[in-house]
């Protein structure tokens, strides 16, 4: 179990990265705030934790990933039980920025790309965070890159995404 001081120091070093990950995947600042708060609370309450800083960092990212997945499942359940909302008009043209296109990806695709290319996680770490098979990560990442590239090309943004 972490002391309050140790958790506070760990929080200061890593909360912004976890928040950024949660925000980029969910696209919602309030959700990101809630996820970071809950992830660090669970970290504080955990009885058995990794001792090394990097393992602890991966642990809190995995907890955040699990919380994001829980929200996806809850929203999917909610959407099945409510009438679909009308589609808002979507802006078009060449002024569409990459962040907006990134937000059009499915949440799992955003999580895969973020963990792999921003956080620099290994396939094993990503598999653990997203609860998918390690061997599937390569295929899922390839599909996510392809979808992002296709969205970017369709909006006339950038030259695409390379491996």
Residue 55 is assigned to a structural domain of this protein: yes
Q: What is the pTM of this model?
A: 0.57
Please, is 100 exposed, middle or buried when counting C-beta atoms within 10 Å of its C-beta (0-12, 13-18, 19+)? middle
Give tens-digit pLDDT for 59-100: 899 899 889 888 877 776 666 666 444 444 444 444 346 667
Is residue 163 domain-resident?
no
User: Could you tell me if 76 and 10 lie in one domain?
Assistant: yes
Q: Are residues 16 and 59 in the same domain?
A: yes
Residue 161 located in a structural domain? no
Q: What is the CATH number of the domain that holds 1?
A: 1.10.1740
> Which residue in the block uniquely carries the two structure tokens 């955003």?
110
Same domain, 75 and 125: no
Higher pLDDT, 123 or 1: 123
For position 113, which CATH number holds?
Answer: 1.10.10.10
Structural domain of residue 42, as residue ranges?
1-85
Number of folded domains that form the chain: 2
CB contact set of 102 (below 8 Å; sequence gap of 6+): 24, 110, 113, 148
Of 100, 94, 77, the closest CA to residue 148 belongs to: 100
Angstrom distances, CA of residue 23 to CA of 17, 48, 83, 85, 117: 10, 28, 26, 22, 16
pLDDT in tens, 120-163: 888 988 888 888 888 899 999 999 999 988 888 887 766 545 55
How much is the pLDDT for 98?
Answer: 67
Answer for the pair 14, 60: CB distance below 8 angstroms, yes or no: yes
Residue ending a domain, choose from 85, 119, 135: 85
């Amino acid at each position: 179990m972490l002391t309050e001081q140790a958790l506070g120091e760990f929080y200061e070093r890593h909360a912004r990265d976890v928040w950024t990950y949660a925000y980029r995947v969910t696209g919602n600042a309030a959700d990101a705030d809630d996820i970071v708060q809950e992830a660090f609370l669970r970290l504080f309450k955990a009885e058995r934790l990794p001792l090394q800083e990097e393992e602890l960092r991966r642990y809190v990212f995995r907890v955040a990933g699990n919380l994001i997945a829980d929200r996806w499942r809850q929203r999917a359940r909610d959407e099945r039980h409510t009438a679909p909302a009308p589609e808002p008009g979507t802006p078009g043209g060449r002024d569409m920025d990459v962040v907006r296109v990134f937000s059009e990806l499915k949440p799992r695709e955003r999580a895969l790309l973020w963990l792999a290319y921003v956080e620099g996680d290994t396939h094993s770490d990503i598999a653990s965070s997203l609860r998918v098979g390690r061997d599937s990560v390569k295929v899922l990442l390839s599909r996510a890159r392809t979808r992002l590239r296709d969205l970017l090309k369709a909006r006339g943004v950038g030259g695409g995404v390379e491996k």
